């Protein structure tokens, strides 16, 4: 989704901003641009990838020590240069970038056009430029002109503005939950970004704007105020991510790197939460007493995409360990169906980015109805983190590839620990069962490492054989059913192969009609209580001449004998199997995408952080 970067100081601002935009590429975009002020405002914009903007900057460099830049993900108007940000007023003296949507842009545009303003783009953003221009013409200073403009627009946005009139400052605002606004504090220079990785190499001292807050950033100071114009105090936070971990290192793609980081991220997730001596889990961050845990009647998990599939695994785990009913809702549907929520309900939002607008809206819905609000979040300081009463921070580290991988497995690890923790507090988990599952948790990093070390040639062979295929089915049962969904999602999002995930028992109610000798069917069949049921699904696929690709436990000759191809994983506890069984499916999707020559880290039409509805 759109990214914003800004710089004010003494350095070459356009270069700084360009480098920052590169670090936000993972969010997805279709055009980009930068505005800088030397004695006058100057703008370069380009369609497509940042390389096109780089070529323009090389041909006509931007001079100046103040700049704002933007990567655009089109909502209003085609992804062409004319619609790329920054947008300037007619006199080319004010430049604006926006992440979000101006919902009332049409009446504002008509009103401004009637007053004689000429529009150069099809975007909603351009109205902001003209509104600011209008207030400047009426004699207001830049900050006040911005504030007056921001108060007229409806929707959710992050907006940054620079102007020739006061060329020492960037004015920025956050309205609603459309996108993060982070101010980075340097020495004799200050920065602005939509997301931490854009500026982390320059500073760890950051301030996060909340809904309705503005900042006026100069090289040596930052002033904070609300939309009423009243100065406010903001706390500075120190962010601890290692900048090196945001780089690709020895891997060809970020997704590949992130798949291979999973043993480490699972380890980090367990560290400090599980006491392997006392076999206890501690999630103090949830701020939950034993009595409150016992009173809880229901947990509703709200999330989107991969995070929602992790939630489906969580349902199996938490219901089993903590004997509490768990419901999983797509966040995008939750708020539109008047859900039954009360003060005995905990809403658990799962979100890697912490900025997914549907998930944030579902959280607000639950909170408004009196629920306890928890989240599992990867991005420290994100909106979801800040509005939750209790948060479990994922410890996945920065996830750059648009296709989520390590955030999925760390989330499931968190959900298993949450199940144990609630089981402890509610007295539903015997000491023996607790010991058994905690012992299993301790082995997970090693098992994930084993999966990564094996099967490499098998993925490549399968990708070689089937990468021209246009349809795939994924089947699983029990906690492996969400893994079938996730395996299908991974394949479709990065290789553009149509793939469906199904609970295996449902196959006979429809999808079986698709099976013939051209249909590859990935069957997840691990040794658990539904093993025999999965075997009979394999038989049904074979009877219709489908191509069976089984994902099974090492040494399972019975499954191997019934399959065209086999991928194996080590055996683990049924409740932690999904953490291990998803890894071969991530790798399978990765190899298919590479064979098809797809843009693995930035699949078409997708964004890492989905900040529009
Ligand atoms: C994952 O591969 C997807 N790109 C997507 O489904 C993602 O999980 C979803 O948009 C939710 O994102 P979040 O976890 O940041 O809220």
| 579-594 residues labelled b (16+ CB within 10 A) or e (exposed) | bbbbbbbbbbbbbbbb
Distance of CA 255 to the CA centre of its chain: 13
| Ligand 1 atom with minimal separation from the 379 CA | 15
Q: Determine which residue's CA is closest to atom 11 belonging to ligand 1.
A: 304
Closest to 544 measured CA to CA, from 511, 566, 567: 511
Taking the C-alpha atoms of residue 397 and residue 243, their distance in angstroms, rounded to an integer, is: 10
The count of C-alpha atoms lying within 13 angstroms of the C-alpha of 304, restricted to the half-sphere facing its C-beta, is 24
pLDDT per position as a tens digit, 531-581? 888 898 899 999 899 999 999 999 999 999 999 999 999 999 999 999 999
C-alpha of residue 408 to centroid of ligand 1, in Å = 9
What is the structure's pLDDT at 327?
97
Locate 389 and state its tokens: 């009463």
- List active site positions: 2, 608
Looking at the CA of residue 402, tell me the nearest atom of ligand 1.
4
Residue 493 near ligand 1, beta carbon < 6 Å:
yes
pLDDT at 246 > cutoff 60: no
Of the candidates 538, 533, 536, the one whose C-alpha atom is nearest the C-alpha of residue 550 is 538
pTM: 0.75
Closest residue by CA, ligand 1 atom 7: 305
Closest residue by Cα to atom 6, ligand 1, is 305
pLDDT tens string 482-511: 999 999 999 999 999 999 999 988 988 988
What is the per-residue DSSP string for 332-401? Answer: HHHTTS-----TTEEEEEEESSS--HHHHHHHHHHHHTT-EEEEEESSTTSHHHHH-SEEEE-------S
Ligand 1 within 6 A of CB of 167: no
Is any ligand 1 atom within 6 A of the Cβ of residue 351? yes
Tokens matching residue 268: 């980090």
Which residue has its alpha carbon closest to ligand 1 atom 9?
305
Report CA torsion sign: 83, 86, 89, 92.
Answer: negative
- When pLDDT is cut at 50, 70 and 90, the band that residue 207 belongs to is very high
The phi, psi pair for 349, rounded to 5°, reads: -90, 135
Beta bridge partners, 68, equal 6, 35
CA distance 559 to 569: 13
Q: Is 306 in the pocket of ligand 1 (CB under 6 A)?
A: yes
Separation of CA 404 and ligand 1 centre (Å): 6
Task: Say whether 318 sits in a helix, a strand or coil.
Answer: helix
Q: Which two tokens stand for residue 164?
A: 């020739």
Please state, in angstroms and rounded to a whole number, the distance separating the CA atoms of residues 290 and 389: 17
Ligand 1: which atom is nearest the Cα of residue 359?
16
Angle between helices 481-495 and 305-322 (to 10 degrees): 170
Q: Is 353 in the pocket of ligand 1 (CB under 6 A)?
A: yes
pLDDT band at 17 (very low <50, low <70, confident <90, very high): very high
Measure the CA–CA gap between 508 and 77, rounded to whole angstroms: 44
DSSP β-bridge partners for residue 193: 5, 182
């Amino acid at each position: 989704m759109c990214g914003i970067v800004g710089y004010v100081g003494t350095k070459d601002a356009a270069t700084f901003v360009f480098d920052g935009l590169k670090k936000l590429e993972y969010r997805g975009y279709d055009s980009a641009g930068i505005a800088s002020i030397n004695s006058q405002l100057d703008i370069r914009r380009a369609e497509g990838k940042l390389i096109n903007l780089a070529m323009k900057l090389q041909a006509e460099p931007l001079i100046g020590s103040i700049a704002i830049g933007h990567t655009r993900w089109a909502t209003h108007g085609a992804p062409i240069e004319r619609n790329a940000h920054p947008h300037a007023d007619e006199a080319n003296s004010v430049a604006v970038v926006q992440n979000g949507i101006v919902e009332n842009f049409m009446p504002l545009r008509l009103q401004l056009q009637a007053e004689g303003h000429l529009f150069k783009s099809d975007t909603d953003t351009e109205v902001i430029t003209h509104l600011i221009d209008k207030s400047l013409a009426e004699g207001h200073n830049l900050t006040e002109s911005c504030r007056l403009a921001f108060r007229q627009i409806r929707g959710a946005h992050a907006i940054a503005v620079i102007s020739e009139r006061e060329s020492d400052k960037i004015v920025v605002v956050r309205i609603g939950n459309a996108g993060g606004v982070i101010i980075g504090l340097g020495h004799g220079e200050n920065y602005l970004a939509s997301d931490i990785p854009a500026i982390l190499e320059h500073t760890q001292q950051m301030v996060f704007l909340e809904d309705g807050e503005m900042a006026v950033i100069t090289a040596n100071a930052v002033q904070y105020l609300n939309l009423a114009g009243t100065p406010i105090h903001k706390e500075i936070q120190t962010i601890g991510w290692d900048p090196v971990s945001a780089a690709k290192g020895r891997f060809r793609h970020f997704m590949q790197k992130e798949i291979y980081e999973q043993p480490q991220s699972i380890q980090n997730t367990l560290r400090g939460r599980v006491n392997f001596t006392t076999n206890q889990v501690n999630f103090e961050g949830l701020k939950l007493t034993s009595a409150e845990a016992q009173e809880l009647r229901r947990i509703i998990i709200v999330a989107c995409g991969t995070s929602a599939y992790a939630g489906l695994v969580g349902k199996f785990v938490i219901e089993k360990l903590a004997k509490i009913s768990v419901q999983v809702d797509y966040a995008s549907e939750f708020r539109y169906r008047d859900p039954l929520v009360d003060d005995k309900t905990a809403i658990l939002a799962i979100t890697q980015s912490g900025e997914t607008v549907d998930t944030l809206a579902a959280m607000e819905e639950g909170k408004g109805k009196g629920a306890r609000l928890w989240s599992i979040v990867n991005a420290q300081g994100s909106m979801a983190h800040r509005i939750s009463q209790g948060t479990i921070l994922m410890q996945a580290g920065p996830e750059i590839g648009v296709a989520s991988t390590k955030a999925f497995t760390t989330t499931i690890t968190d959900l298993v620990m949450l199940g144990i923790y609630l089981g402890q507090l509610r007295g539903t988990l015997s000491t023996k069962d607790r010991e058994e599952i905690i012992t299993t948790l301790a082995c997970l990093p090693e098992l994930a490492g084993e999966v990564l070390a094996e099967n490499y040639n098998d993925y490549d062979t399968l990708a070689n054989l089937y990468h021209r295929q246009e349809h795939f089915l994924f089947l699983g049962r029990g906690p492996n059913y969400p893994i079938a969904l996730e395996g299908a999602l991974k394949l479709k999002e990065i290789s553009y192969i149509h793939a469906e995930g199904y609970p295996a028992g449902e196959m006979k109610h429809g999808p079986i009609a698709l099976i013939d000798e051209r249909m590859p069917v990935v069957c997840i069949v691990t040794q658990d209580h539904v093993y025999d049921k999965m075997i009979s699904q394999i038989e049904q696929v074979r009877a219709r001449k489908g191509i069976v690709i089984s994902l099974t436990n090492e040494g399972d000759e019975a499954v191997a004998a019934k399959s065209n191809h086999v991928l194996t994983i080590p055996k683990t506890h049924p409740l932690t199997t999904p953490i291990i069984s998803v890894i071969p499916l991530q790798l399978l999707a990765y190899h298919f995408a590479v064979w098809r020559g797809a843009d693995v880290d930035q699949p078409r039409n997708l964004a890492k952080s989905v900040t529009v509805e």
